[in-house]
């Protein structure tokens, strides 16, 4: 793999809704795996912690973060309340006490949702640091609540679990924006449209973590068939994927890229009819291999040359689960192949011919910035056809 600046990308957070929390395959509902210090070396551990802190501090910002929130299947938590700055691997609650305290909580992965939650006032935690040293400490006050909140996420729990539905306050970003605008103009707040959706956030990996097998982006997705997802929920998932695809300006998007481990993807290059891929598999490849530059929103700022077959025959399924086959060639075949790779935990970096490179867009931005600041632009590289996935 070519050396690429680690500053190009960081970890990003899964974003979902109350309904999305209950979807089969929801990564946030997994029980996270212990961090194995032999499997994940010191440099990668430091990169993961740096990425988690980066994701935590990114707007709108937070005070704690569990690794599953960033699509990582690891028992790892970071927290910073202004007094304590902690990175805890394999934390376990040793004791709680001090009576119970109620406080309103929210979560960066569940924007616009708040609920009052009762928790013990103190928590004693045993954990390992990045260097595998063991610690044990009792925390109280604000940091104790942060740790309670984050540690339950490692077992697939959420602050809304066990809270009466009528006690959960949920407003979408679109609704909050409408309310703010109404306030500015002293107008009545408009009613939220029925079934309003919001684009989801796409899970990302920085260059030094592309090979991390504990990421949702690296885990083969589960089949929809027999997974407990009804047609209505599947239709809603497809609608949200299409919305996110168009919001990001990409040609394909898979469910694992938004933290849903199901074999579902959508394709829409706005030239041919949109396509929903449900438990799809390639049954035949044909034509010559075509080498083109590809990019991926899960690996932002990077590109690489990838060989793809010129033609594909694909077995797909309808919403009702009925199988059918279709043929695709050219650009559409490339988009489909890219999407199906995601369902198998494969990234473009695995196919990279000649290594990874900074994307044309990233290079153009840097050139404009240097010119604006009076410096010399970087040397132009060889032009190649670019495929934004």
Domain of residue 226, CATH code: 3.90.45.10
Asked if residue 168 and residue 240 are part of one domain, the reply reads: no
Instruction: Kindly state whether residues 239 and 175 are assigned to the same domain.
Output: no
What DSSP state is assigned to residue 167?
A: G
Q: Are residues 74 and 146 in the same domain?
A: yes
Q: What is the mean pLDDT of the chain?
A: 86
| Lowest-confidence region among 3-7, 60-64, 130-134, 285-289 | 3-7
The whole-angstrom separation of Cα 85 and Cα 265 is: 39
The yes-or-no answer on residue 166 being catalytic is no
- Contact call for residues 67 and 52 (beta carbons, < 8 A): yes
Closest among 15, 354, 359, 8 to 210, alpha carbons compared: 8
Please indicate, yes or no, whether residues 138 and 35 belong to a single structural domain of this protein. yes
Backbone angles phi, psi at 99, to 5 degrees: 80, -175
Q: What is the pLDDT of residue 337?
A: 97
Question: Rounded to whole angstroms, how far apart are CA atoms 102 and 116?
Answer: 6
Residues 179 and 226 in one domain: no
Q: What is the pLDDT of residue 358?
A: 75
**Full 3-state SS string of 240-284:** HHHHHHHHHCCCEEEHHHHCECECEEEECCCCCCCEEEECCEEEE
Question: pLDDT tens-digit profile of 13-53?
Answer: 999 988 889 899 999 999 999 999 999 999 999 889 988 99
Determine the Cα–Cα distance for residues 65 and 13; give it in Å rounded to an integer: 9
Domain edge (last residue) among 162, 184, 206 = 184
CA–CA separation, 52 vs 215, rounded Å?
A: 13
pTM here is 0.84
What is the pLDDT, as a whole number, of residue 374? 56
The reply to whether 94 and 154 lie within a common domain is: yes
Cα(298)–Cα(277) distance, integer angstroms: 19
Residues spanned by the domain of 13: 6-184
Last residue within a domain, chosen from 133, 163, 184: 184
One domain for residues 244 and 372: yes
**Could you tell me if 136 and 252 lie in one domain?**
no
More confident site: 388 or 343: 343
Residue that is written with structure tokens 């000649």 in the block: 354
326-352 residue pLDDT tens: 999 999 999 999 999 999 999 999 998
Q: Taking the mean position of all CA atoms in its chain, how far away is CA 209? A: 14
Q: What is the DSSP letter of 215?
A: B
Q: Is 189 inside any structural domain?
A: no
Residues 357-374 have pLDDT tens digits of 876 656 655 565 565 555
Beta-strand ranges (E) seen in the chain are 64-66, 76-80, 85-105, 113-128, 134-140, 168-170, 252-254, 264-267, 275-278, 281-295, 302-317, 323-329, 353-358, 386-388
Q: State how far the Cα of 176 lies from the Cα of 47, in Å rounded to an integer.
A: 35
What is the DSSP-derived secondary structure letter of residue 26?
Answer: B
Angle made by CA atoms 183, 189, 171, in degrees to the nearest 5: 95
Chain centroid to Cα 51, Å, comes to 13
d(CA 158, CA 20): 12
Total domains in the fold of the chain? 2
Of 57, 172, 169, 161, the closest CA to residue 104 belongs to: 169
Is residue 242 scored above 60 in pLDDT?
A: yes
Distance CA 360, CA 53 (A): 28
Judge if 347 and 228 occupy the same domain: yes
230 secondary structure, DSSP code: -
What would the mean pLDDT of 301-310 be, rounded to a whole number? 90
Q: So what's the pLDDT on residue 161?
A: 95
Are 166 and 62 contained in the same domain? yes
In a domain, 283, yes or no: yes
What CA–CA distances, in Å, run from 388 to 244, 269, 348, 378? Answer: 15, 10, 12, 22
The answer to whether residue 197 sits within a structural domain is no
Q: Exactly one of 150, 236, 252, 294 is catalytic; name it.
A: 150
- Quick check: is 213 in a domain? no
Task: Specify if 349 maps to a domain.
Answer: yes
Identify whether residues 128 and 42 lie together within a single domain. yes
Residue finishing a domain among 184, 208, 241: 184
The pLDDT value recorded for residue 384 is 41
Determine the Cα–Cα distance for residues 44 and 50; give it in Å rounded to an integer: 10
Same domain, 146 and 239: no
Binding site for Fe cation: residue ranges? 296, 338, 342
């Amino acid at each position: 793999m070519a050396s690429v600046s680690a500053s190009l990308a960081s970890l990003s957070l899964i974003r979902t809704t109350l309904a999305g929390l209950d979807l089969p395959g929801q990564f946030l509902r997994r029980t996270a795996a212990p961090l194995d210090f032999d499997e994940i070396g010191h440099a990668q551990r430091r990169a993961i912690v740096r990425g988690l802190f980066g994701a935590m501090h990114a707007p709108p910002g937070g005070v704690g973060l569990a690794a599953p929130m960033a699509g990582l299947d690891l028992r790892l938590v970071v927290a910073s309340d202004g007094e304590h700055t902690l990175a805890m691997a394999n934390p376990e609650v040793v004791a709680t006490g001090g009576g119970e305290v109620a406080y309103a909580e929210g979560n960066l992965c569940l924007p616009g949702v708040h609920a009052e939650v009762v928790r013990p006032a103190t928590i004693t935690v045993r954990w390992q640091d990045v260097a595998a040293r063991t610690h044990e400490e009792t925390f109280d006050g604000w940091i104790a609540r942060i740790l309670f909140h984050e540690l339950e996420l490692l077992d697939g729990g959420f602050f809304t679990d066990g809270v009466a539905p009528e006690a959960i306050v949920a407003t979408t970003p679109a609704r909050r924006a409408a309310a703010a605008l109404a306030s500015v103009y002293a107008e009545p707040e408009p009613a939220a449209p029925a079934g309003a959706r919001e684009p989801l956030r796409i899970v990302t990996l920085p260059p030094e973590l592309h090979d991390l097998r504990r990421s949702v982006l690296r885990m083969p997705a589960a089949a929809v068939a027999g997974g407990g997802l009804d047609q209505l929920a599947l239709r809603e998932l497809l609608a949200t994927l299409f919305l996110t695809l168009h919001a990001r300006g990409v040609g394909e998007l898979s469910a694992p890229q938004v933290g849903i481990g199901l074999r579902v993807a959508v394709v829409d290059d706005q030239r041919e009819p949109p396509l929903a891929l449900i438990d799809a598999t390639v049954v035949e490849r044909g034509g010559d291999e075509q080498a083109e530059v590809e990019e991926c929103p899960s690996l932002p700022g990077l590109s690489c040359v990838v060989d793809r077959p010129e033609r594909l025959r694909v077995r797909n399924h309808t919403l009702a689960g009925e199988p059918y086959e279709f043929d695709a060639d050219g650009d559409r075949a490339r988009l489909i192949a890219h999407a199906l790779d995601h369902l198998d935990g494969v990234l473009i970096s695995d196919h990279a011919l000649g290594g990874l490179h900074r994307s044309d867009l990233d290079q153009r931005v840097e050139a404009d910035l240097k010119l604006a600041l009076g410096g010399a632009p970087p040397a132009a590289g060889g032009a190649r056809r670019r495929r934004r996935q």
